[in-house]
Structure 1
């Protein structure tokens, strides 16, 4: 029965992708896409064919730092649990990159005082952080979630997340989800290593894949299998932990890429967006709300005002 449900879900997802293709994705007919495979011993891509993806344009806006926040709680209250039928879950999924410094620097770097103030705001307003696997399992099968769930995700594997965000979130009892670029975990400067990731996993965090080398696979289909499937295999082997979800580099997706993520046995794919409502139809492109370094505390809260 579970296999039938999985087949129905993938069928719903693929039909949704086909419907949305004309509006959001390159005009590549799905029938022309080569059959995907999740073989985990793929040959690495030829680097001479890799298309370089330019970094996003930064448009910072300087704002005042938030007012000092109260000290962190000494105990986390037990959340009220609410049962959800399968098929839809309402929960903000937030996206961060760097957590560092005492002041605003750029869009992708949230200052440490601002981040602490945001965690305090979430705590004061009754939010409970959950992992993405918890959200996806309830979306697929139904089950209980805290009354006001939220998922806190971090892309790229920056060391600043381990050094600055992780201890603050520990004070509030908030786990996070860390999307790691697989070829950066063996001593790359400014990125977390295996032992640091394992420390976070032991504290209740979850790890997902952000590709093998952070390549835009929508422009490099020849490398999709290695970037998507091999990254999952390597991370699971190194961390001795499941890797259930894939975060598309740059938030970019097309039908072929989504099919590859599904075929590699990921439970869900993580994208960008503003919605806090997640359904079977967008299981492989769940909306994540990016938090900018320039956000005031009021702007931070307004990003998911649909669920005050």
Structure 2
């Protein structure tokens, strides 16, 4: 059985990120150094679809597989990340929130300068897998079923219309999902989906709950090396996990309150 795989989660790549994106942004220089580290250490980047297909079929993976993923659809992925990926011939996956991208479907809400569809098409032409990340980036597990379906199907429909190919991979906004959400993602036609979890991805997690590790602006060279080697991940993200568990309690209370309110109507 294949071993664990580091799946790196990036967002914005920018020298001057907005306050809303700064914590989850990396500078172009840091991104280039991180990709150089992957190359020097003999990692082979795969797309999300490639990993999913290999784990479904039991096929072989490279000796040191890694996934490079980007969420939301910030313009810096095209401006800064694409030339570096091309330099090394690295595969990657971009998960787009279709309502945030510039163009005919823009609903607003983007947290920084977003990609337009010509740039998305150029990324796809250069071998970047384009996956879904919902339409308007809500917490999917907090939505009624009809709204959940809209977010999934509208996103998939737009990507298919713009690129000519329906997306096969999905990433949950904010990393939140539930059994209901995962079932809907599968029924909508996605073959695999990524959460966060800040741990290495393992085949036993199942194709709709694969974990990723967060790369931040504060992620230094030594910490990045530890992350890709699978070292000290639990300690690095211990505070994040505590906060996530606390927020999960708050979100569950909100959900129960909404159900109680709706039952009284």
> How many angstroms does 1:90 deviate by?
2.6
Tell which has more relative contact order, 1 or 2 (C-alpha 8 A, sep 6+).
1
Runs of 4+ in 1 over 4 A off after TM superposition: none
What whole-Å deviation, never above 9, does each CA across 1:201-223 have from its counterpart, x for those lacking one?
Answer: 11111011110110112111241
What whole-Å deviation, never above 9, does each CA across 1:274-293 have from its counterpart, x for those lacking one?
Answer: 33242244321110111011
SS at match of 2:137: coil
Partner of 2:168: 244
Partner of 1:100: 14
Aligned length: 221
Q: Distance in 2 between matches of 1:263 and 1:243?
A: 13
> How many angstroms does 1:89 deviate by?
5.0
> How many angstroms does 1:165 deviate by?
0.8
Q: Distance in 1 between matches of 2:230 and 2:217?
A: 22
The 8 Å contact of residues 89 and 135 in structure 1, kept in 2 or not, is answered as: no
The 8 Å contact of residues 229 and 261 in structure 1, kept in 2 or not, is answered as: no
Q: Distance in 1 between matches of 2:212 and 2:173?
A: 13
The 8 Å contact of residues 178 and 205 in structure 1, kept in 2 or not, is answered as: yes
TM-score (norm 1): 0.67
Partner of 1:171: 87
The 8 Å contact of residues 96 and 132 in structure 2, kept in 1 or not, is answered as: yes
Residue correspondence of structure 1 range 130-169 to structure 2 within 5 A = 130-169=46-85
Distance 1:89 1:242, change over 3 A: farther
Residues 1:207 and 2:135 aligned together: no
Tell which structure's C-alpha radius of gyration is larger: 1
Residues 1:228 and 2:152 aligned together: yes
SS at match of 2:217: coil
TM-score (norm 2): 0.78
Structure 1 residue ranges without an equivalent (≥5): 1-84
Partner of 1:255: 179
